[in-house]
Copies of this chain bind each other. A is one copy, B any other.
Amino acid sequence: MFNAYSPELRQDLRFRWNRLQENLRETGADALLAATNVNLLYLTGRIFMGYVHLPAEGEPLFFVRRPCGLSGANVFELRKPEQIPDLLREAGIALPRHLLLEGDDLTFNEHARLTACFPDARIGNGSTDLRQCRAVKTPYEIRIMRLTGSRHAAAVDRFASVYEPGMTDQAWSIEMFRLMLQAGGLGLFRIAGNSMEGFMGTVLAGDNGGAASPYDFALGGAGLDPSLPVGQSGVTLTEGMSVMVDIAGNFYGYLTDCTRTFAIGRLAPRAVEAHCRSIEIQQAVAAAGVPGARCEDLYALALKMAEDAGFADCFMGLAQKAKFIGHGTGLVINEQPVLGARSKETLQEGMCIALEPKFVIPGTGAVGVEDTFLVTPAGMENLTPCDPSMRVL
């Protein structure tokens, strides 16, 4: 296998392949062919240009279009995907009759090109299987998520130190982005799917917290330009505004999510109270979030607590409300599952879930917290531990 890799990572990759292979056998598929970056990273521990062929039984093969850090048994060079069938035959592997491709990730034309390489195969969607596997972290991934969360939380604890009175949301965000990069952040914010985009995260001040958004984030913000309508809007931070800072942590390719809210001076009492309710709701959901818990029940619990506290109208937005209070995170910020009203999924040990019960208070802004949690038999463990209280600037 991969010569330069640590024994820990080699073993972990084997664990990932085995789990995905179980999945393939349940689906009745002979093999999966992965070609997009996030899944190549998941299946090999690095980004490269090429393909992974994972049969339902036996060893995966790795087809590499450019030199990369992969070398060892089962790593083959190739120029174009049309060579894959011959390379499989040469390796003594029967061509799949039921092949899974990444239907949610490949473009239509990439998918068509790979499909044409296997004219006798029935093609299914492997993105679903990959996302299911990716949702439950392996031991190595849990170690990396812990490390990421810990480095992320340490950076968040320093955000207030780079605030200066009179700043705009944008000016402060630049200083916080710099802190994240100085702390070792890679900056890249990976999101599955075509529709959502973002830079490193959002800093929502005042009524920008409730701005309608074309993106499916919990709260989006209007952004600085119609070409990227998300995040800070350029407003000057003034007395009475809340500022919600939601910047992702990415230190090793895995993302943690952590939001903290800051007060510019004294806020309206209702905003201060809503922030406390957010912390309580997050704690309650985390305590209830044991393996087997149903995602829709956790959403319902959060919604009920918001309603009982008299904050239903401003929970998860105002005119436009997010229909979820949490989501998986990992190689992309929107891993499965979603904690939403009709999420039939259940939590599993090893899932990493961002919990973000947030409120938007008209005239003040967005308040609340978000942390990334690991699902354990004892409930959820916070991977981004830092002071959740609303810091007054």
A residues lining the B interface (CB < 8 Å): 36-37, 41, 45-49, 66-69, 101-112, 125, 127, 170-171, 174, 177-178, 181-182, 186-188, 193-195, 197-200, 212-215, 224-229, 251-254, 319-320
Decide if the interface of chain A is mainly helix, strand, loop or mixed: loop
Closest Cβ–Cβ distance, residue A111 to chain B (whole Å): 4
B residues in contact with A68, CB < 8 Å? 212, 214, 229
Can you list 20 A-B pairs, Cβ within 8 angstroms, ordered by A? A37-B194, A37-B195, A41-B227, A46-B229, A47-B227, A49-B214, A66-B212, A66-B213, A66-B214, A67-B212, A67-B319, A68-B214, A103-B108, A106-B107, A106-B108, A107-B107, A108-B111, A174-B182, A225-B253, A228-B253
Q: How far is the CB of A291 from chain B (nearest CB, A)?
A: 28
The CA of A125 and the CA of B108, in the complex, are separated in Å by: 9
A178 to B172, CA, bound (A): 11
Closest 3 CB pairs between A and B? A227-B253, A46-B226, A108-B111
* Complex CA distance for A319 and B193, rounded to whole angstroms: 34
Q: CB < 8 Å: which of B170, B181, B214 contacts A48? A: B214
- Interchain CB contact under 8 A, B108 and A229: no
Besides A46-B229, A47-B226, A68-B212, 11 more A-B contacts (Cβ < 8 Å) are: A46-B227, A47-B229, A66-B213, A67-B319, A103-B108, A104-B109, A106-B107, A108-B112, A177-B181, A178-B178, A186-B227
A95 to B224, CA, bound (A): 37
B228, A66: Cβ atoms under 8 Å? no
Contacts of A186 in B (CB 8 A): 199, 224-225, 227-228
Complex Cα–Cα for A320 and B198 (A): 32
Q: In the complex the two chains form, what is the Cα distance from A106 to B41 in whole Å?
A: 22
Q: Is B228 within 8 A of A106, CB to CB?
A: no
Which of B103, B198, B252 is A109 in contact with, Cβ under 8 Å? B103
Shortest A99–chain B CB gap in Å is 13
